[in-house]
Amino acid sequence: MSDAKIEVRNVTKVFGKSPQQGVKMLNEGLSKKQILEKTGMTVGVNKASFEVRSGEIFVIMGLSGSGKSTLVRMFNRLIDPTDGQVLIDGQDIVKMKPNELREVRRSKISMVFQRFALFPHRTVLSNTEYGLEVKGSDRKQQREKALEALKLVGLEGYENSYPSELSGGMQQRVGLARALANDPDVLLMDEAFSALDPLIRKDMQNELLELQEKMEKTIIFITHDLDEALRIGDRIALMKDGSIVQVGTPEEILMNPANDYVERFVEDVDLSKVLTAAHVMKRPEKILADRGLRVALQIMKDAGISSLYIVDKKQKLVGAITAQDAADALKKNQKIEDIMIRDLQTVTPDTLISDMFEQVATASLPVAVIDEEERLKGIIVRGAILAALAGDDIQLNGNEVK
């Protein structure tokens, strides 16, 4: 069983008077709709089977009513499956006795909720300590671990605030800290960012990815937002009417939809909202300012380009020159600094293409891509954006679509 952290086998949940009968009807091949018509019972999840690998972000994605929240609640048995197995590290959660289950919930698997579900009567710190507190660990250690978790999510200094005093984004950080405090292997995130407004949501997604690089937890993330799924998912499972329709990497799902449903789902994906500057940028031609105009002109000539970016010794972008200006300046005996265009359009590598259309369209020179330290990472030419949006994989710099 390679590196499968969680194995889900034929997990089924039927809500209604006699769920077992519902399972039988499913086995006989009846559909969710037929069962509802015949018996009035609702099939929440219909024989879901997949594996979640250790250390990946596995996104379960579907529209509301597709059964994704029910499915994730069967991982820690907030909802008991009617049928099937959920193996975590080879142990079947479904068969566990209450005390064994409690132990797993306390140490192995934590959950982050859509509406945060923070305890309003407890401070941020004491919310974060909750999991450790019910586990009954040492008081001092509890505090240390909780403070550590709060630091991790950037909430230092808010320990004694109450949840109601915090913004939505900060509240969900507390939710995340609470889940991380008892250091679980598995993190269940049920629409964790859906209640946040779009900008905050994006920040949180980025932070989750950053955190994940350090922590390497196994994360199961539920969302109804395809863009979110594509952004953060290492692999995505698409759900419809309680069934898993397709499991795959974001690229597989985008490029090879398993059936019409998935195809219709992803056809509306705005690639410009998935691809970033890092995907489409080209290697820049650059030069140190003190190399002089002659060298600059030679580089441009060799590379067959009409503009060149100037960087300092730390690769920090300082400006750009055009070939025309450089040739004129050489005749007038000017230096690079005299003709350098300092007012450049720049973006960061994670800027979405959709966010840079205007800059790219209006800039006279290719837009420069710089990192936090203003180092030049690449340039963006219009043609590359068009090619990428047309679905030309070669343009994607070999970066996986994330």
Q: Which residues bind other proteins (CB under 8 A)?
A: 73, 76, 78, 101-107, 110-111, 113-115, 117-121, 130-131, 133-135, 178, 182, 188
| Minimum CB distance to other proteins, residue 118 (Å) | 8
Q: How far apart are CA 148 and CA 154, in angstroms?
A: 10
Nearer to other proteins, 89 or 133 (CB): 133
Q: How far apart are CA 113 and CA 79, in angstroms?
A: 15
Q: Do the bridges between strand 286-288 and strand 57-62 make them parallel or antiparallel, or are there none, so unpaired?
A: unpaired
Which residue is listed with tokens 């209640």?
195
| Minimum CB distance to other proteins, residue 139 (Å) | 15
Nearer to other proteins, 127 or 212 (CB): 127
Which residue is listed with tokens 């566990």?
96
Nearer to other proteins, 104 or 353 (CB): 104
Q: In what order do the strands lie in the sheet containing 186-190?
A: 109-112, 186-190, 218-223, 57-62, 235-240, 243-248
| Minimum CB distance to other proteins, residue 232 (Å) | 21
Nearer to other proteins, 127 or 307 (CB): 127
Burial environment of residue 178 by CB neighbours within 10 A (0 to 12, 13 to 18, 19 or more) = buried
| Minimum CB distance to other proteins, residue 116 (Å) | 8
Nearer to other proteins, 47 or 178 (CB): 178
Which token pair is 378? Answer: 């690449």
| Minimum CB distance to other proteins, residue 105 (Å) | 4
Nearer to other proteins, 60 or 352 (CB): 60
Q: Would you give the end-to-end CA distance of the chain in angstroms?
A: 27
What b/e sequence results for 47-59 when a residue is b if at least 16 CB atoms lie within 10 Å of its CB, and e otherwise? Answer: bbebbbeeebbbb
| Minimum CB distance to other proteins, residue 13 (Å) | 16
Q: Do the bridges between strand 42-53 and strand 218-223 make them parallel or antiparallel, or are there none, so unpaired?
A: unpaired
Nearer to other proteins, 118 or 152 (CB): 118
Which residue is listed with tokens 């598995």?
186
Q: Which amino acid is at 245?
A: V
| Minimum CB distance to other proteins, residue 179 (Å) | 8
Q: Do the bridges between strand 367-370 and strand 346-347 make them parallel or antiparallel, or are there none, so unpaired?
A: parallel
Q: Taking CA 242 as the corner, what is the angle to CA 236 and CA 243, rounded to the nearest 5 degrees?
A: 60
Nearer to other proteins, 105 or 145 (CB): 105
Q: How far apart are CA 395 and CA 26, in angstroms?
A: 45
- Contact of 68 with 239, CB cutoff 8 Å: yes
Question: Would residue 197 be called left, alpha or beta, if left means φ above 0 and alpha means ψ between -120 and 50 degrees?
Answer: beta
Q: How far apart are CA 91 and CA 10, in angstroms?
A: 15
| Minimum CB distance to other proteins, residue 68 (Å) | 15
Nearer to other proteins, 110 or 223 (CB): 110
| Minimum CB distance to other proteins, residue 107 (Å) | 8
